[in-house]
Amino acid sequence: MPGSIPESAIASATLADPAAPVQRPRATEIARLWLLARQEPLGALSAAVLGALLAVALFAPALAPCDPYKLNVDNHGLLIRMQSPNRTFPLGTDPLGRDVLSRMVYGARISLAVGFASVLIGTLVGTVVGLASGYVEGPLDSALQRGVDTLMSVPGIVLALAVVSVLGQSLANVILVIALVIAPGASRVVRGAVLVVKQNTFVDAAHAAGATPWRVVLRHILPNVLAPILVIATVWLGNAIVIESALSFLGLGTPPPIPTWGGMLSGEGRRNLETAPYLAVFPGLAISVVVLAFNMFGDALRDYLGPRLRTTR
């Protein structure tokens, strides 16, 4: 049409217009993590601490100065016992002449093994129970929740003490006991999340399309409740280490001479608290730092996985 402006000219003018909205590329996950690290510096610091702890646990044989079970002796064949921190033994030696630093390094491996294994088992059992209870509801829900209420009515440390007293001292029993303490709380959280997700229209659409209950649970409900599951698992990692340390402190944890932080704190640390306080200070400090790091990392992970929390920051 005469006097009309060609479409190509309109397009070029639009591209050249500085006031026109410019579509920015979608932020990558790395940029998102960097933003989270800037918003949650304590969470980033805790992640670095946990990463260092994991590296120490994995490479314990290479990082430990000597064998954690070795009884160190001097040139005259006498035990180098109760040595305060020095150049040869940076964290000192215990009453049997064993290097405290080496036992601390290997103790990190035991503590992390107990924490990850117990949290994995406990969270998995709690997730299965929570999914079944929240999705099926009815009599099954009532029966499962009464069992959960019964377990949760007993304090965790008391329940752990009772079960370990019956099963006996071993690393496997400690893991199972801590998993038993974790499972009820995890199932309650998962059940609440499932009840919320069930109200969404995509679940009704899946039912209308003829999807089986297993498919609805595994493909539509479980992916939408993974965020709280990951958060509670992260928080319980720190609690699992505390429970293991408490059991070792009470003499019902991992049996000696296996080095654990709780065992070091309760054994030679408690008996020599006045004469050699470093035997209790270093394991206690390690437990405190690791538990605090797990809790702060759990808070940061909750912010990262929770879209509502991210949009309100």
Give the per-residue pLDDT at 313: 43
Least confident of 70-84, 253-267, 274-288: 253-267
Q: Are 264 and 255 in contact (CB under 8 A)?
A: no
Contact 305, 33 (CB under 8 A): no
Sign of torsion, CA 241 120 110 162? positive
Cβ atoms of 197 and 203 within 8 Å: the answer is yes
**Token representation of residue 212:** 């089986």
Q: What is the pLDDT of residues 177-218, one digit of tens each?
A: 889 888 998 899 899 889 888 888 888 888 888 888 888 888
Question: What pLDDT, on the 0 to 100 scale, is given for residue 19?
Answer: 46
Confidence tier at 120 by pLDDT (50, 70, 90): very high
**pTM, whole model, 2 decimals?**
0.75
- Position 261, amino acid: W
Angle between helix 278-305 and helix 226-249 axes, rounded to 10 deg: 170
- The CA-to-CA distance between both ends of the chain, in Å, stands at 53
pLDDT of residue 305: 67
Q: Which of 97-101, 105-109, 151-155 shows the lowest per-residue confidence on average (mean pLDDT)?
A: 151-155
At 267, which amino acid appears?
A: G
DSSP 67-131: -TT---B-TTS-B--SPPS-SSSTT-B-TTS-BHHHHHHHHHHHHHHHHHHHHHHHHHHHHHHHH
Complete domains list, the chain, with CATH: 57-311 (1.10.3720.10)
Say how many C-beta atoms besides its own lie within 10 A of residue 232's C-beta. 24
Residue bearing the bigger pLDDT, 117 or 11: 117
Residue 291 near residue 241, CB atoms below 8 Å? yes
Q: How deeply is 264 buried, as exposed, middle or buried, from its count of CB atoms within 10 A (0-12, 13-18, 19+)?
A: buried
> How many degrees, rounded to 5, is the angle at CA 269 between CA 76 and CA 237?
125
**CA pair distance 157, 159, nearest whole angstrom:** 5
pLDDT digits (tens, 9 = 90+) for 7-48: 444 344 434 444 444 444 445 767 776 776 777 777 788 888
Q: Give the list of residues 6+ apart from residue 185 with CB closer than 8 angstroms, or none.
A: 126, 152, 232, 236
- Contact partners, residue 216, CB within 8 Å, separation at least 6: 135, 203, 206, 207
pLDDT at 29: 67
DSSP state letter for 252: -
Separation in Å, CA 126 to CA 26, 187, 188: 36, 4, 8
Tokens read off for 191: 């059940």
Q: Which of 283, 284, 290 is nearest to 259 (CA)?
A: 283
Does the N-terminal peptide bond of residue 68 adopt cis geometry, omega within 30 degrees of 0?
A: no
What share of the chain in percent tops pLDDT 70?
Answer: 87
pLDDT digits (tens, 9 = 90+) for 148-168: 888 888 887 788 888 888 887
Which tens digits make up the pLDDT trace of 238-265?
888 888 878 877 777 777 778 888 888 8
pLDDT of residue 4 exceeding 80, the answer is no
